[in-house]
Amino acid sequence: MNLAIIGAQWGDEGKGKIVDLLAPHFDIVTRYQGGHNAGHTVIIRRDGIEQKFVLHLIPSGITHPGKTCVIGNGVVVDPRALLIEMEDLRGQGIEVNPKNLLVSNRAHLILPYHVALDRAIEASRGGNAVGTTMRGIGPAYEDKMARRGLRAGDLTDPSTLAEKLTHTARQANRLLSVLGGEPIDEKVLIDDGMRWCDLLSPHICDTTYYLNRSTRDGSSLLLEGAQATMLDIDHGTYPFVTSSNSSIGGACTGTGIPPSLINMVIGVIKAYTTRVGGGPFPTELNDALGETIRTRGGEYGASTGRPRRTGWFDAVVARYAVMVNGLHALALTKLDVLDDLDEIRICTGYRINGRETDQVPYDANLMSAAEPVYETMPGWREKTVGINRLDDLPAKAREYVDRLSELSGAPFAFISTGAERNETIISSEMLSRHGLDLSI
Ligand code: GDP
């Protein structure tokens, strides 16, 4: 059984919790796009002690013994960031070896000049900055598309590596000098490259064949998405998007696993909406209520501490995510954050330049001009924190959840009512219809 997990809004939906809950039930967990700009915190209890793991690049399955974690070809890999993450995990007692962590030889590398380019390009955009994480991810994907990138496989051949690094560093330095960025030192890059070659080569292999062979031989695969549908380079609110396909297409191109082998696609969606950085956000609440949701939901960037923008649930976005990804089901998170509200609004459509629509416009400026059309429901004003049976939800919370599902066009396989794994309502029957049995 192969399952893909995808963010259905603008990210930070709580994918980490859902993936962590599912990972023990799969043999292989793979990332397929993005870089170390993703990130989630996994809290697990080992030998009675609670441990916190922050993962940016390595799939969260790594904390579960016996799982194989794969960094697929669609991911861009910064060798420095990967080595730090591997060492941090080892320092916390987690086994990381060439058997449980595989890196695709087709995955493109983020090199130090990509980080310098990211900074220089963002600075040159002035007031129109995209708000990138400055980790070189966009420039690495640019090089991939321009067919001049280096790939993880290049780290496995020390005899040609120095020449390749020199060539690409010179090209990048020419560009950096035009943009006013800091050039990088070729010699340092080559020395680093040789070290990465030693340390990472044992993990680098043809994961396309590995994944296809394993799944066809009966291993189960969890495809772990980073970022989200509305940040997809093609389907998101361009140009306020990430540099990869974070919707379902990326799961196939980023692993080499064909669509016919993916049995189920689940979108993770919050009971309200958040967004980090610039770009359109029709249901944004720029008021005290927005602040209340931010505080209760802990909506601050995991690594930067940056406050996230908050707003009402946007069913236009949800329907779009269901359509673009062919979502079989949704995982609703953070329902508990809305527990104390008197009334709750749901955006059912947009009014753009006087005309109503139920579609996401292609143009970010049009979306910025969208006035949300709301319907209002009464709040339940009762604690839902920790509820893990559907029947235990307050009636009004159940009505809200049912309405979200109806407007989104997909059922909920999970309803999350807290950060802990057991604070989740699970529709086992729905999952088993798609071949996933969580009781095993
Ligand atoms: P991701 O990038 O999509 O994995 O999202 P984050 O890692 O930013 O997750 C959001 C945060 O919300 C994490 O700190 C989770 O522990 C927490 N969280 C996840 N689900 C719930 C929930 O249902 N209720 C509450 N209160 N917190 C949750």
Contact indicator for 223, 262 with CB cutoff of 8 Å? yes
Q: Whose CA is nearest to atom 28 of ligand 1?
A: 419
Assess whether the previous peptide bond of 239 is cis (omega < 30° from 0).
Answer: yes
CATH number at residue 346: 3.90.170.10
CATH number at residue 173: 1.10.300.10
Domain count, the chain: 2
**Do 263 and 343 share a domain, yes or no?**
yes
The residue among 155, 181, 203 that closes a domain is 203
The residue among 149, 178, 203 that closes a domain is 203
The residue among 203, 222, 250 that closes a domain is 203
Q: Whose CA is nearest to atom 20 of ligand 1?
A: 419
As given in the structure block, the two tokens for residue 136 are: 């070189």
Could you tell me if residue 438 is inside a domain?
no
Secondary structure (DSSP) of 148-183: ---BGGGGG-HHHHHHHHHHHHHHHHHHHHHHTPPP
For 408, the domain range is 2-100+206-433
pLDDT in tens, 181-208: 889 999 999 999 999 999 999 999 999 9
Contact indicator for 118, 138 with CB cutoff of 8 Å? yes
- pLDDT of 37 reads 85
As given in the structure block, the two tokens for residue 337 are: 């954050």
Residue 280 bridge partners (DSSP) = none
Could you tell me if residue 148 is inside a domain?
yes
Integer Cα distance of 268 and 420 in angstroms: 16
Could you tell me if residue 439 is inside a domain?
no
pLDDT in tens, 206-223: 999 999 999 999 999 999
Tell me the whole-structure pTM to 2 decimals: 0.94
* Percent of residues, the chain, with pLDDT higher than 70: 99
**Do 126 and 213 share a domain, yes or no?**
no
Integer Cα distance of 74 and 39 in angstroms: 17
- Per-residue pLDDT band for 439 (boundaries 50, 70, 90) equals confident
- Per-residue pLDDT band for 416 (boundaries 50, 70, 90) equals very high
Residue 194 bridge partners (DSSP) = none
**Do 197 and 212 share a domain, yes or no?**
no
For the cut 70, the answer to whether the pLDDT of residue 303 exceeds it is no
**Do 141 and 259 share a domain, yes or no?**
no
Out of 36, 40, 64, 114, the active site residue is 40
3-state secondary structure of 372: strand
Residues with CB under 6 Å of ligand 1 are 7, 11-17, 40-41, 302, 333-334, 336-337, 416-419
78 is catalytic: no
**Do 138 and 219 share a domain, yes or no?**
no
**Do 145 and 270 share a domain, yes or no?**
no
Q: State the average pLDDT over residues 309-320.
A: 98
Contact indicator for 109, 79 with CB cutoff of 8 Å? yes
Integer Cα distance of 295 and 298 in angstroms: 5
Could you tell me if residue 173 is inside a domain?
yes
CA 368 to ligand 1 centroid distance, Å? 27
Could you tell me if residue 218 is inside a domain?
yes
DSSP, res 306: P
- Per-residue pLDDT band for 102 (boundaries 50, 70, 90) equals very high
Q: What angle do CA 47, 53, 55 make, to 5 degrees?
A: 145
Q: State the average pLDDT over residues 129-150.
A: 89
Could you tell me if residue 19 is inside a domain?
yes
Residue partners of 288: CB distance under 8 A and separation at least 6: none
* Percent of residues, the chain, with pLDDT higher than 90: 86
Of the two residues 302 and 381, the one the predictor is more confident about is 381
* Amino acid letter for position 200: L
Could you tell me if residue 90 is inside a domain?
yes
206 is catalytic: no
Integer Cα distance of 201 and 89 in angstroms: 19
pLDDT in tens, 282-300: 999 999 999 999 999 999 9
For the cut 70, the answer to whether the pLDDT of residue 160 exceeds it is yes
